[in-house]
Amino acid sequence: MPNPEPQADPEMAPSSFHPVIARWFAERLGTPTEPQTRTWPLVRAGKNVLVAAPTGSGKTLAAFLIALDALFCEGPALAD
């Protein structure tokens, strides 16, 4: 049986990120936008995603924050 496609999660919060990333997001940006919460689980699952949303809606962070989060999560393992 094939694995189902990851679903966009409109409730995905920055708290699911590395604590440093989550704290930075909360302090600097507050609440994520809908394009971010819908994109994060798909990008995290390695899916190709096209985000079509208005300027200023957080499209860049919708993709880039996952990469930063991965680096923060891998960092301690690389130091071993």
Query: Where are the chain's structural domains?
Result: 15-79
pTM for this predicted structure: 0.75
At 47 the pLDDT is: 92
Q: Which amino acid is located at 69 in the chain? A: D
Residues 6, 19: Cα–Cα separation, whole Å: 23
Q: How confident is the model at residue 15 (pLDDT cuts 50, 70, 90)?
A: confident
Distances (CA, A) of 3 to 6, 7, 12, 41, 66: 9, 12, 21, 15, 22
CA distance 45 to 4: 11
The better pLDDT of the pair 54, 16 is held by: 54
Residues 18-75 pLDDT 10s: 999 999 999 999 999 999 999 999 998 899 999 999 999 999 998 889 999 999 988 7
CA angle 14, 43, 74 (to 5 degrees): 70
Confidence band, pLDDT 50/70/90 cuts, at residue 78: low
